[in-house]
Amino acid sequence: MAETMNLLQYDVVSKFILPFFLVFFLVFAILEKTKLLGEKKQLHALISFVIGLIFVGAIYPVLVVNNLILFLTVTIVVVFVALLIWGFIFGDLKDTKLPKFLTIGLGILATIAIAIGIIWATGFLDDIQTYLSTGIGGTIVTNIVFLIVIAIALALVMKGFSGGEKK
């Protein structure tokens, strides 16, 4: 089965045309805003054009910018999802005052949900599950669960001795 590619997946577009336009427009906007070379748009455009061509002529800077743009877009999407979850949890609370413990608890749950979502979306969830269920990872998880159960039991017993008898 032959794979079809869209226009944006071709190397000439993703490695030359798009980085060129990005640098061209950024340099042009900076020159227009700062008026470093006066009010001449043609001069700004020509200098931006030359800087853009020099930029795409070198491979390493294009790779760095491509990686930064990818990081930026993923970060923007993660922040957007986090804000959506936060908005669903707290919504418009102008008239409602939630207790502080509930606000903190819901914030912690939202953070855990976002972290699990990122782990799942990146494909690391299967690797983590495999590590935690086999070998030394399974032993560590078993010991941690065992320590948590002991800590809860001790806390309940200590609470019973110290605060159980009130008159």
What per-residue confidence (pLDDT) applies to 123?
87
What per-residue confidence (pLDDT) applies to 31?
94
Residue found under tokens 């190397």: 11
Closest CA to 14 of 48, 65, 84, 76: 65
Band of residue 20 on the pLDDT scale cut at 50, 70, 90: very high
**124 within domain boundaries:** no
Band of residue 162 on the pLDDT scale cut at 50, 70, 90: low
**62 within domain boundaries:** no
Amino acid at 80: F
Total domain count, the chain: 2
Average pLDDT, the chain: 84
**112 within domain boundaries:** no
Average pLDDT of 9-29?
90
Average pLDDT of 93-117?
80
What are the residues whose beta carbons fall under 8 Å from the beta carbon of 136, sequence distance 6 or more? Answer: none
Cα–Cα separations (whole angstroms), residue 116 to 45, 59, 123, 128, 140 = 46, 36, 11, 11, 20
Average pLDDT of 139-144?
82
What per-residue confidence (pLDDT) applies to 149?
93
What are the residues whose beta carbons fall under 8 Å from the beta carbon of 52, sequence distance 6 or more? Answer: 20, 21, 23, 24, 27
Domain around 140: 134-160
Asked which of 16, 34, 57 is the last residue of a domain, the reply is 57
Of the chain, the percentage scoring pLDDT greater than 70 comes to: 90
What per-residue confidence (pLDDT) applies to 28?
95
**73 within domain boundaries:** no
Lowest mean pLDDT among 62-66, 75-79, 86-90, 96-100: 96-100
pTM, two decimal places: 0.58
What are the residues whose beta carbons fall under 8 Å from the beta carbon of 81, sequence distance 6 or more? Answer: 114, 117
3-state secondary structure of 2: coil
State both tokens at 52: 């853009």
What are the residues whose beta carbons fall under 8 Å from the beta carbon of 137, sequence distance 6 or more? Answer: 131
**99 within domain boundaries:** no
**140 within domain boundaries:** yes
pLDDT digits (tens, 9 = 90+) for 119-128: 888 888 888 8
**68 within domain boundaries:** no
Cα–Cα separations (whole angstroms), residue 92 to 87, 89, 97, 98, 110 = 8, 9, 11, 12, 17
Q: Is the pLDDT of residue 3 over 80?
A: no
Q: Is the pLDDT of residue 98 over 80?
A: no
Round to whole Å and give the CA distance between 67 and 69: 5
Round to whole Å and give the CA distance between 37 and 78: 39
